[in-house]
Amino acid sequence: MSIIASIPADNLGNKLFIKDLREDEERIYVKYRSTHNDIPFTEVEIFIVEEGKNCVITGEDGTILWRFSTGWLHKIKD
């Protein structure tokens, strides 16, 4: 069974969903989707920033798409 975290994305009620945390050597991956668009869960590498306090999901060009607390990772870790 996979645990899905529902993270508030803005003040309008949109959500970011993350699940299936996976670590591969020193890289961290999650599957994510949001209520901002209609895409299925997609696996992406996440990056730890701000002295380990937050995570970011970036676009292909390095633009930060999502930022959330690392505490959310503990909620989905198996």
Per DSSP, the three-state class of 78 is: coil
Q: What is the tens place of the pLDDT at every residue in 4-26? A: 999 999 999 999 999 999 999 99
- pLDDT number for residue 29: 97
* Contact residues for 14 (Cβ-Cβ < 8 A; gap 6+): 8, 34, 35, 36
Q: Average pLDDT in the 42-62 region?
A: 96
Exposure string over 29-59, b if 16+ CB within 10 A, otherwise e = ebbbbbeeeeeeeeebebeeeeeeebbbbee
Q: What is the tens place of the pLDDT at every residue in 25-48? A: 999 999 999 998 888 999 999 999
